[in-house]
Structure 1
Amino acid sequence: MPSKTFLGLPAEKQVKIIAAAREAFSQAPYSEVTITDIIKLAEIPRGSFYQYFKDKEDIYFYLLETFRQDFKDILSNNLQEQQGDLFAAFSITFHEMLKFLSTTIDRRLLQNIFMEMDYRGYQHLLKREFHHPHHQGHEPGHLSEWQQSIKDQTDFSKLRVSQDEFDLMLHMLLGFMGQSVARYFMAQRDPERKMTPELYEHKFDLLLDWFEHGVLKENAGRELNA
Protein backbone atom coordinates (compact mmCIF):
# COMPACT_ATOMS: atom_id res chain seq x y z
CA MET A 1 0.00 0.00 0.00
CA PRO A 2 1.19 3.57 -0.65
CA SER A 3 2.78 5.56 2.14
CA LYS A 4 1.25 8.56 3.88
CA THR A 5 3.72 10.65 1.88
CA PHE A 6 2.15 9.47 -1.39
CA LEU A 7 -1.38 9.99 -0.11
CA GLY A 8 -0.38 13.51 0.93
CA LEU A 9 0.68 14.45 -2.60
CA PRO A 10 -1.53 16.69 -4.73
CA ALA A 11 -4.12 14.64 -6.60
CA GLU A 12 -2.67 15.42 -10.02
CA LYS A 13 0.76 14.10 -8.99
CA GLN A 14 -0.75 10.91 -7.60
CA VAL A 15 -2.64 10.42 -10.86
CA LYS A 16 0.54 10.95 -12.90
CA ILE A 17 2.49 8.34 -10.92
CA ILE A 18 -0.29 5.75 -11.11
CA ALA A 19 -0.76 6.47 -14.82
CA ALA A 20 2.96 5.82 -15.30
CA ALA A 21 2.66 2.47 -13.52
CA ARG A 22 -0.41 1.61 -15.59
CA GLU A 23 1.49 2.36 -18.81
CA ALA A 24 4.57 0.42 -17.72
CA PHE A 25 2.61 -2.70 -16.79
CA SER A 26 0.59 -2.41 -20.01
CA GLN A 27 3.73 -2.40 -22.14
CA ALA A 28 5.29 -5.47 -20.51
CA PRO A 29 4.51 -8.24 -18.01
CA TYR A 30 5.24 -7.65 -14.33
CA SER A 31 8.49 -9.64 -14.38
CA GLU A 32 9.93 -7.44 -17.15
CA VAL A 33 8.96 -4.06 -15.71
CA THR A 34 11.56 -2.24 -13.61
CA ILE A 35 11.28 0.65 -11.19
CA THR A 36 13.42 2.59 -13.66
CA ASP A 37 10.66 2.16 -16.27
CA ILE A 38 8.09 3.57 -13.88
CA ILE A 39 10.07 6.56 -12.63
CA LYS A 40 11.05 7.57 -16.18
CA LEU A 41 7.39 7.64 -17.21
CA ALA A 42 6.38 9.39 -13.98
CA GLU A 43 9.31 11.80 -14.23
CA ILE A 44 10.25 11.46 -10.55
CA PRO A 45 13.57 10.64 -8.83
CA ARG A 46 14.19 7.07 -7.68
CA GLY A 47 14.40 8.28 -4.08
CA SER A 48 10.94 9.80 -4.33
CA PHE A 49 9.52 6.49 -5.54
CA TYR A 50 10.74 4.72 -2.41
CA GLN A 51 9.15 7.43 -0.29
CA TYR A 52 5.81 6.54 -1.88
CA PHE A 53 6.01 2.74 -2.28
CA LYS A 54 8.14 -0.03 -0.77
CA ASP A 55 8.94 -1.69 -4.08
CA LYS A 56 7.60 -2.62 -7.50
CA GLU A 57 5.20 -5.18 -6.05
CA ASP A 58 3.71 -2.55 -3.75
CA ILE A 59 2.66 -0.21 -6.55
CA TYR A 60 1.58 -3.16 -8.72
CA PHE A 61 -0.94 -4.46 -6.21
CA TYR A 62 -2.11 -0.93 -5.43
CA LEU A 63 -2.85 -0.55 -9.12
CA LEU A 64 -4.76 -3.85 -9.10
CA GLU A 65 -6.89 -2.67 -6.19
CA THR A 66 -9.07 -0.52 -8.46
CA PHE A 67 -9.99 -3.49 -10.65
CA ARG A 68 -10.39 -5.75 -7.63
CA GLN A 69 -12.81 -3.34 -5.98
CA ASP A 70 -14.89 -3.15 -9.17
CA PHE A 71 -15.08 -6.96 -9.25
CA LYS A 72 -16.13 -7.10 -5.59
CA ASP A 73 -18.92 -4.58 -6.18
CA ILE A 74 -20.18 -6.40 -9.27
CA LEU A 75 -20.24 -9.82 -7.57
CA SER A 76 -21.99 -8.39 -4.50
CA ASN A 77 -24.65 -6.68 -6.62
CA ASN A 78 -25.23 -9.80 -8.73
CA LEU A 79 -25.58 -11.95 -5.62
CA GLN A 80 -28.27 -9.61 -4.33
CA GLU A 81 -30.09 -9.64 -7.67
CA GLN A 82 -29.93 -13.47 -7.76
CA GLN A 83 -31.39 -13.66 -4.25
CA GLY A 84 -28.40 -15.43 -2.74
CA ASP A 85 -27.73 -17.93 -5.56
CA LEU A 86 -23.91 -17.90 -5.41
CA PHE A 87 -23.27 -19.94 -8.55
CA ALA A 88 -25.69 -17.86 -10.65
CA ALA A 89 -23.94 -14.72 -9.39
CA PHE A 90 -20.51 -16.08 -10.37
CA SER A 91 -21.75 -16.99 -13.85
CA ILE A 92 -23.26 -13.56 -14.51
CA THR A 93 -20.19 -11.82 -13.09
CA PHE A 94 -17.87 -13.79 -15.38
CA HIS A 95 -19.99 -12.89 -18.42
CA GLU A 96 -19.82 -9.22 -17.46
CA MET A 97 -16.06 -9.44 -16.93
CA LEU A 98 -15.44 -10.83 -20.42
CA LYS A 99 -17.54 -8.07 -21.98
CA PHE A 100 -15.53 -5.50 -20.02
CA LEU A 101 -12.20 -7.09 -20.94
CA SER A 102 -13.04 -7.01 -24.64
CA THR A 103 -13.72 -3.26 -24.64
CA THR A 104 -11.68 -1.59 -21.88
CA ILE A 105 -8.71 0.65 -22.67
CA ASP A 106 -6.87 -1.31 -19.95
CA ARG A 107 -7.14 -4.56 -21.90
CA ARG A 108 -3.36 -4.91 -22.38
CA LEU A 109 -2.72 -4.18 -18.73
CA LEU A 110 -5.23 -6.76 -17.54
CA GLN A 111 -4.00 -9.28 -20.10
CA ASN A 112 -0.46 -8.95 -18.75
CA ILE A 113 -1.74 -9.27 -15.19
CA PHE A 114 -3.75 -12.43 -15.76
CA MET A 115 -1.33 -14.06 -18.19
CA GLU A 116 1.53 -13.89 -15.71
CA MET A 117 -0.47 -14.58 -12.56
CA ASP A 118 0.68 -17.90 -11.11
CA TYR A 119 -0.42 -19.74 -7.97
CA ARG A 120 1.73 -17.48 -5.78
CA GLY A 121 0.18 -14.41 -7.35
CA TYR A 122 -3.35 -15.63 -6.77
CA GLN A 123 -2.53 -16.41 -3.16
CA HIS A 124 -1.08 -12.91 -2.76
CA LEU A 125 -4.33 -11.41 -4.01
CA LEU A 126 -6.55 -13.73 -1.99
CA LYS A 127 -4.68 -13.21 1.26
CA ARG A 128 -5.73 -9.58 1.14
CA GLU A 129 -9.27 -10.89 1.61
CA PHE A 130 -8.62 -13.99 3.73
CA HIS A 131 -6.64 -13.65 6.95
CA HIS A 132 -4.80 -16.92 7.52
CA PRO A 133 -4.23 -18.16 11.07
CA HIS A 134 -0.61 -19.35 11.31
CA HIS A 135 -1.57 -22.89 12.25
CA GLN A 136 -3.72 -23.38 9.15
CA GLY A 137 -1.06 -22.88 6.51
CA HIS A 138 -2.68 -21.92 3.22
CA GLU A 139 -6.23 -22.86 4.14
CA PRO A 140 -8.69 -19.93 4.24
CA GLY A 141 -9.16 -18.56 7.71
CA HIS A 142 -11.17 -15.57 8.92
CA LEU A 143 -13.03 -13.66 6.23
CA SER A 144 -12.66 -10.00 5.39
CA GLU A 145 -15.64 -7.69 5.69
CA TRP A 146 -16.45 -8.13 1.99
CA GLN A 147 -16.11 -11.92 2.09
CA GLN A 148 -18.33 -12.03 5.16
CA SER A 149 -20.95 -9.94 3.37
CA ILE A 150 -20.91 -12.44 0.48
CA LYS A 151 -21.37 -15.25 3.00
CA ASP A 152 -24.22 -13.44 4.73
CA GLN A 153 -26.04 -12.83 1.43
CA THR A 154 -25.66 -16.41 0.19
CA ASP A 155 -28.69 -18.69 0.34
CA PHE A 156 -27.35 -21.76 2.13
CA SER A 157 -30.52 -23.74 1.39
CA LYS A 158 -29.11 -24.12 -2.16
CA LEU A 159 -25.75 -25.45 -0.95
CA ARG A 160 -24.49 -28.76 0.40
CA VAL A 161 -21.84 -27.10 2.54
CA SER A 162 -21.81 -25.90 6.12
CA GLN A 163 -21.13 -22.35 7.26
CA ASP A 164 -17.59 -23.40 8.19
CA GLU A 165 -16.97 -25.07 4.81
CA PHE A 166 -18.16 -22.02 2.87
CA ASP A 167 -14.83 -20.22 3.30
CA LEU A 168 -12.92 -22.92 1.43
CA MET A 169 -15.54 -23.11 -1.32
CA LEU A 170 -15.47 -19.35 -1.90
CA HIS A 171 -11.67 -19.41 -1.97
CA MET A 172 -11.79 -22.09 -4.68
CA LEU A 173 -14.42 -20.24 -6.74
CA LEU A 174 -12.44 -17.00 -6.73
CA GLY A 175 -9.30 -18.83 -7.84
CA PHE A 176 -11.24 -20.69 -10.52
CA MET A 177 -12.62 -17.44 -11.95
CA GLY A 178 -9.19 -15.78 -12.01
CA GLN A 179 -7.60 -18.75 -13.74
CA SER A 180 -10.47 -18.87 -16.24
CA VAL A 181 -9.80 -15.27 -17.24
CA ALA A 182 -6.11 -16.13 -17.70
CA ARG A 183 -7.01 -19.07 -19.96
CA TYR A 184 -9.31 -16.80 -21.96
CA PHE A 185 -6.43 -14.41 -22.65
CA MET A 186 -4.20 -17.36 -23.56
CA ALA A 187 -6.79 -18.57 -26.07
CA GLN A 188 -6.95 -15.10 -27.61
CA ARG A 189 -3.21 -15.20 -28.30
CA ASP A 190 -3.41 -18.54 -30.10
CA PRO A 191 -4.94 -18.06 -33.59
CA GLU A 192 -5.79 -21.76 -33.79
CA ARG A 193 -7.65 -21.71 -30.47
CA LYS A 194 -9.10 -18.20 -30.62
CA MET A 195 -12.55 -18.19 -29.06
CA THR A 196 -15.24 -15.54 -28.93
CA PRO A 197 -16.31 -14.32 -25.49
CA GLU A 198 -19.65 -16.09 -26.01
CA LEU A 199 -17.99 -19.47 -26.60
CA TYR A 200 -15.73 -19.01 -23.58
CA GLU A 201 -18.70 -18.01 -21.43
CA HIS A 202 -20.33 -21.30 -22.42
CA LYS A 203 -17.19 -23.23 -21.48
CA PHE A 204 -16.96 -21.43 -18.13
CA ASP A 205 -20.62 -22.16 -17.38
CA LEU A 206 -20.08 -25.83 -18.20
CA LEU A 207 -17.17 -26.08 -15.75
CA LEU A 208 -19.09 -24.10 -13.16
CA ASP A 209 -22.03 -26.48 -13.57
CA TRP A 210 -19.68 -29.42 -12.94
CA PHE A 211 -18.46 -27.65 -9.82
CA GLU A 212 -22.01 -26.99 -8.66
CA HIS A 213 -23.66 -30.32 -9.50
CA GLY A 214 -20.78 -32.76 -9.96
CA VAL A 215 -19.93 -34.96 -12.92
CA LEU A 216 -20.90 -38.38 -11.60
CA LYS A 217 -24.17 -39.98 -12.63
CA GLU A 218 -26.87 -40.25 -10.03
CA ASN A 219 -26.14 -43.00 -7.47
CA ALA A 220 -22.65 -43.48 -8.95
CA GLY A 221 -20.81 -41.65 -6.22
CA ARG A 222 -19.12 -42.95 -3.10
CA GLU A 223 -20.54 -41.96 0.25
CA LEU A 224 -18.23 -39.92 2.42
CA ASN A 225 -17.47 -41.42 5.79
CA ALA A 226 -18.70 -39.38 8.69
Structure 2
Amino acid sequence: MPKQTFYHLPKEKKDTLILSAKEEFSRVPLHEASIANIIKSAGIPRGSFYQYFDDKEDLYFYLLDEFTQNTNRRVMTILRRKQGNLTETLIDLFQHIVHNRHNQDNKAYLKNVFLNMNFKIENTLARSMYEENQKSHYQSLLKLVKTDHLNIKSEQELNDMIEIMVSVTIHNLVRVFVLNLTEEEALTKYINQIELLKKGFQKE
Protein backbone atom coordinates (compact mmCIF):
# COMPACT_ATOMS: atom_id res chain seq x y z
CA MET A 1 0.00 0.00 0.00
CA PRO A 2 1.12 3.61 -0.49
CA LYS A 3 3.35 5.28 2.06
CA GLN A 4 2.06 8.27 3.99
CA THR A 5 4.04 10.62 1.76
CA PHE A 6 1.79 9.65 -1.15
CA TYR A 7 -1.35 10.61 0.75
CA HIS A 8 0.21 13.98 1.60
CA LEU A 9 0.76 14.85 -2.06
CA PRO A 10 -1.32 17.64 -3.61
CA LYS A 11 -4.32 16.14 -5.41
CA GLU A 12 -3.09 17.21 -8.84
CA LYS A 13 0.29 15.53 -8.38
CA LYS A 14 -1.33 12.41 -6.95
CA ASP A 15 -3.80 12.20 -9.85
CA THR A 16 -0.99 12.63 -12.38
CA LEU A 17 0.97 9.73 -10.89
CA ILE A 18 -2.10 7.49 -10.79
CA LEU A 19 -3.00 8.33 -14.39
CA SER A 20 0.56 7.60 -15.52
CA ALA A 21 0.51 4.28 -13.69
CA LYS A 22 -2.84 3.29 -15.14
CA GLU A 23 -1.58 4.14 -18.63
CA GLU A 24 1.45 1.89 -18.14
CA PHE A 25 -0.57 -0.97 -16.67
CA SER A 26 -3.02 -0.57 -19.55
CA ARG A 27 -0.20 -0.83 -22.07
CA VAL A 28 1.41 -3.99 -20.69
CA PRO A 29 0.82 -6.55 -17.91
CA LEU A 30 2.36 -6.00 -14.49
CA HIS A 31 5.50 -8.07 -15.07
CA GLU A 32 6.36 -6.03 -18.19
CA ALA A 33 5.50 -2.63 -16.72
CA SER A 34 8.30 -0.11 -16.31
CA ILE A 35 8.74 2.28 -13.40
CA ALA A 36 10.87 4.37 -15.76
CA ASN A 37 7.87 4.89 -18.05
CA ILE A 38 5.61 5.77 -15.12
CA ILE A 39 7.92 8.38 -13.62
CA LYS A 40 8.72 9.86 -17.03
CA SER A 41 5.03 10.30 -17.78
CA ALA A 42 4.32 11.64 -14.28
CA GLY A 43 7.33 13.96 -14.38
CA ILE A 44 8.81 12.84 -11.06
CA PRO A 45 12.29 11.60 -10.09
CA ARG A 46 12.79 7.88 -9.42
CA GLY A 47 13.66 8.66 -5.82
CA SER A 48 10.30 10.33 -5.32
CA PHE A 49 8.50 7.25 -6.62
CA TYR A 50 10.05 5.12 -3.88
CA GLN A 51 8.95 7.67 -1.30
CA TYR A 52 5.38 6.90 -2.35
CA PHE A 53 5.45 3.16 -3.15
CA ASP A 54 7.76 0.23 -2.43
CA ASP A 55 7.76 -0.95 -6.05
CA LYS A 56 5.56 -1.27 -9.12
CA GLU A 57 3.64 -4.18 -7.55
CA ASP A 58 2.74 -1.95 -4.62
CA LEU A 59 1.37 0.67 -7.00
CA TYR A 60 -0.42 -1.91 -9.15
CA PHE A 61 -2.27 -3.46 -6.24
CA TYR A 62 -3.14 -0.04 -4.87
CA LEU A 63 -4.92 0.71 -8.15
CA LEU A 64 -6.58 -2.69 -8.11
CA ASP A 65 -7.72 -2.19 -4.54
CA GLU A 66 -9.22 1.19 -5.48
CA PHE A 67 -11.15 -0.48 -8.31
CA THR A 68 -12.36 -3.20 -5.95
CA GLN A 69 -13.49 -0.76 -3.29
CA ASN A 70 -15.47 1.18 -5.90
CA THR A 71 -17.02 -2.13 -6.95
CA ASN A 72 -17.89 -2.94 -3.34
CA ARG A 73 -19.69 0.38 -2.98
CA ARG A 74 -21.64 -0.36 -6.16
CA VAL A 75 -22.60 -3.78 -4.76
CA MET A 76 -24.08 -2.11 -1.68
CA THR A 77 -26.08 0.29 -3.83
CA ILE A 78 -27.42 -2.47 -6.07
CA LEU A 79 -28.17 -4.74 -3.11
CA ARG A 80 -30.36 -2.07 -1.55
CA ARG A 81 -32.14 -1.54 -4.86
CA LYS A 82 -32.66 -5.29 -5.26
CA GLN A 83 -34.03 -5.51 -1.71
CA GLY A 84 -31.32 -7.86 -0.52
CA ASN A 85 -31.44 -10.34 -3.40
CA LEU A 86 -27.80 -11.38 -3.74
CA THR A 87 -28.02 -13.27 -7.03
CA GLU A 88 -29.85 -10.43 -8.77
CA THR A 89 -27.26 -8.03 -7.36
CA LEU A 90 -24.34 -10.01 -8.77
CA ILE A 91 -26.02 -10.37 -12.15
CA ASP A 92 -26.62 -6.61 -12.25
CA LEU A 93 -22.99 -5.96 -11.26
CA PHE A 94 -21.66 -8.43 -13.82
CA GLN A 95 -23.72 -6.84 -16.57
CA HIS A 96 -22.52 -3.37 -15.55
CA ILE A 97 -18.84 -4.37 -15.73
CA VAL A 98 -19.28 -6.17 -19.05
CA HIS A 99 -21.29 -3.31 -20.52
CA ASN A 100 -18.72 -0.72 -19.45
CA ARG A 101 -15.60 -2.68 -20.35
CA HIS A 102 -15.23 -0.58 -23.50
CA ASN A 103 -15.11 2.65 -21.48
CA GLN A 104 -11.89 4.26 -22.68
CA ASP A 105 -10.79 5.14 -19.13
CA ASN A 106 -10.69 1.50 -18.05
CA LYS A 107 -10.84 -0.64 -21.19
CA ALA A 108 -7.17 -1.56 -21.60
CA TYR A 109 -6.48 -1.56 -17.87
CA LEU A 110 -9.28 -4.01 -17.02
CA LYS A 111 -8.41 -6.15 -20.02
CA ASN A 112 -4.85 -6.53 -18.75
CA VAL A 113 -6.06 -7.25 -15.23
CA PHE A 114 -8.36 -10.07 -16.32
CA LEU A 115 -6.17 -11.47 -19.10
CA ASN A 116 -3.23 -11.76 -16.71
CA MET A 117 -5.16 -13.11 -13.75
CA ASN A 118 -3.16 -14.94 -11.10
CA PHE A 119 -3.87 -15.96 -7.53
CA LYS A 120 -2.77 -12.66 -6.01
CA ILE A 121 -4.86 -10.59 -8.41
CA GLU A 122 -7.90 -12.82 -7.95
CA ASN A 123 -7.41 -12.73 -4.21
CA THR A 124 -7.33 -8.94 -4.27
CA LEU A 125 -10.52 -8.78 -6.32
CA ALA A 126 -12.37 -11.41 -4.33
CA ARG A 127 -11.19 -10.81 -0.79
CA SER A 128 -10.58 -7.11 -0.32
CA MET A 129 -13.82 -6.88 1.63
CA TYR A 130 -12.44 -9.36 4.14
CA GLU A 131 -9.38 -7.28 4.96
CA GLU A 132 -9.28 -5.57 8.32
CA ASN A 133 -10.20 -2.15 6.96
CA GLN A 134 -13.16 -3.65 5.08
CA LYS A 135 -14.72 -5.81 7.79
CA SER A 136 -17.30 -3.23 8.81
CA HIS A 137 -18.24 -2.83 5.15
CA TYR A 138 -18.64 -6.59 4.78
CA GLN A 139 -20.75 -6.84 7.91
CA SER A 140 -22.99 -4.11 6.53
CA LEU A 141 -23.30 -6.08 3.31
CA LEU A 142 -24.28 -9.24 5.19
CA LYS A 143 -27.04 -7.37 6.99
CA LEU A 144 -28.50 -6.30 3.66
CA VAL A 145 -28.58 -9.80 2.17
CA LYS A 146 -32.05 -11.32 2.33
CA THR A 147 -31.55 -14.87 3.58
CA ASP A 148 -35.07 -16.17 4.19
CA HIS A 149 -35.17 -17.76 0.72
CA LEU A 150 -31.66 -19.20 0.94
CA ASN A 151 -30.85 -22.73 2.04
CA ILE A 152 -28.20 -21.70 4.55
CA LYS A 153 -27.97 -22.38 8.26
CA SER A 154 -25.28 -20.00 9.49
CA GLU A 155 -23.30 -16.87 8.71
CA GLN A 156 -20.35 -19.08 7.78
CA GLU A 157 -22.44 -20.80 5.12
CA LEU A 158 -23.47 -17.38 3.83
CA ASN A 159 -19.79 -16.38 3.69
CA ASP A 160 -18.97 -19.56 1.78
CA MET A 161 -21.85 -19.02 -0.62
CA ILE A 162 -20.71 -15.46 -1.33
CA GLU A 163 -17.14 -16.62 -1.87
CA ILE A 164 -18.28 -19.25 -4.39
CA MET A 165 -20.48 -16.78 -6.26
CA VAL A 166 -17.73 -14.16 -6.38
CA SER A 167 -15.32 -16.77 -7.76
CA VAL A 168 -17.82 -17.69 -10.46
CA THR A 169 -18.25 -14.00 -11.26
CA ILE A 170 -14.51 -13.41 -11.61
CA HIS A 171 -14.11 -16.55 -13.74
CA ASN A 172 -16.81 -15.32 -16.10
CA LEU A 173 -15.24 -11.88 -16.32
CA VAL A 174 -11.96 -13.50 -17.33
CA ARG A 175 -13.82 -15.39 -20.07
CA VAL A 176 -15.29 -12.13 -21.36
CA PHE A 177 -11.83 -10.72 -22.03
CA VAL A 178 -10.11 -13.94 -23.11
CA LEU A 179 -12.85 -14.93 -25.56
CA ASN A 180 -13.94 -11.37 -26.39
CA LEU A 181 -17.56 -12.32 -25.73
CA THR A 182 -20.47 -10.08 -26.56
CA GLU A 183 -22.51 -8.75 -23.67
CA GLU A 184 -25.35 -11.13 -24.56
CA GLU A 185 -23.06 -14.17 -24.74
CA ALA A 186 -21.38 -13.31 -21.46
CA LEU A 187 -24.61 -12.63 -19.62
CA THR A 188 -26.31 -15.81 -20.87
CA LYS A 189 -23.42 -18.00 -19.71
CA TYR A 190 -23.14 -16.23 -16.37
CA ILE A 191 -26.85 -16.38 -15.59
CA ASN A 192 -26.92 -20.09 -16.46
CA GLN A 193 -24.15 -20.76 -13.96
CA ILE A 194 -25.79 -18.63 -11.26
CA GLU A 195 -29.07 -20.49 -11.81
CA LEU A 196 -27.25 -23.81 -11.42
CA LEU A 197 -25.82 -22.62 -8.13
CA LYS A 198 -29.25 -21.51 -6.98
CA LYS A 199 -30.90 -24.87 -7.56
CA GLY A 200 -27.91 -27.06 -6.73
CA PHE A 201 -26.66 -30.11 -8.57
CA GLN A 202 -27.91 -33.04 -6.54
CA LYS A 203 -31.44 -34.38 -6.61
CA GLU A 204 -33.15 -34.85 -3.27
Normalised TM-score (structure 1): 0.83
Q: Distance in 2 between matches of 1:98 and 1:113?
A: 14
Structure 2 residue aligned with 1:120: 120
Structure 2 residue aligned with 1:167: 159
- CA displacement at 1:111 relative to structure 2: 0.3
Structure 1 position 207 matched with structure 2 position 189: no
Alignment of 1:105-144 (within 5 A): 105-131=105-131, 144=135
Larger RCO (alpha carbons 8 Å, 6+ apart)? 2
Structure 2 residue aligned with 1:32: 32
Structure 1 residue aligned with 2:78: 78
Q: Distance in 2 between matches of 1:64 and 1:131?
A: 14
Letter in 2 for 1:214: G
Unaligned runs of 5+ in 2: none
Secondary structure (helix, strand or coil) at the match of 1:128 reads helix
**2:98 touches 2:183 (CA, 8 Å); kept in 1?**
yes
**2:39 touches 2:45 (CA, 8 Å); kept in 1?**
yes
Q: Distance in 2 between matches of 1:207 and 1:61?
A: 29
Structure 1 position 187 matched with structure 2 position 200: no
**2:6 touches 2:51 (CA, 8 Å); kept in 1?**
yes
Q: Quick one: structure 1 residues 73 and 127, their matched pair in 2 at CA, closer, same or farther if it must change by over 3 Å?
A: closer
**2:35 touches 2:56 (CA, 8 Å); kept in 1?**
yes
| Structure of higher CA gyration radius | 1
- CA displacement at 1:201 relative to structure 2: 0.4
Letter in 2 for 1:206: N
Unaligned runs of 5+ in 1: 133-142, 189-194, 220-226
Structure 2 residue aligned with 1:158: 149
- CA displacement at 1:77 relative to structure 2: 1.4
Secondary structure (helix, strand or coil) at the match of 1:44 reads coil
- CA displacement at 1:127 relative to structure 2: 4.1
Which one of 182, 185, 190 corresponds to residue 196 of structure 1?
182
Runs of 4+ in 1 over 6 A off after TM superposition: none
Number of aligned positions between the proteins: 203
Question: 1:111-159: per-residue Cα shift (whole Å, max 9, x none)?
Answer: 0011111223212444432249xxxxxxxxxx71222111111111111
- CA displacement at 1:211 relative to structure 2: 1.2
State the Cα RMSD in Å: 1.9
**1:85 touches 1:158 (CA, 8 Å); kept in 2?**
no
Secondary structure (helix, strand or coil) at the match of 1:183 reads helix
Q: Which has the higher helix share?
A: 2
Question: 1:158-214: per-residue Cα shift (whole Å, max 9, x none)?
Answer: 1111222111221222222122111100011xxxxxx31112101100011111112
Structure 2 residue aligned with 1:138: none
- CA displacement at 1:65 relative to structure 2: 3.0
Normalised TM-score (structure 2): 0.91
Alignment of 1:2-41 (within 5 A): 2-41=2-41
Identity level (%): 31
Q: Distance in 2 between matches of 1:42 and 1:65?
A: 21
Letter in 2 for 1:171: E
Secondary structure (helix, strand or coil) at the match of 2:103 reads coil
**1:27 touches 1:109 (CA, 8 Å); kept in 2?**
yes
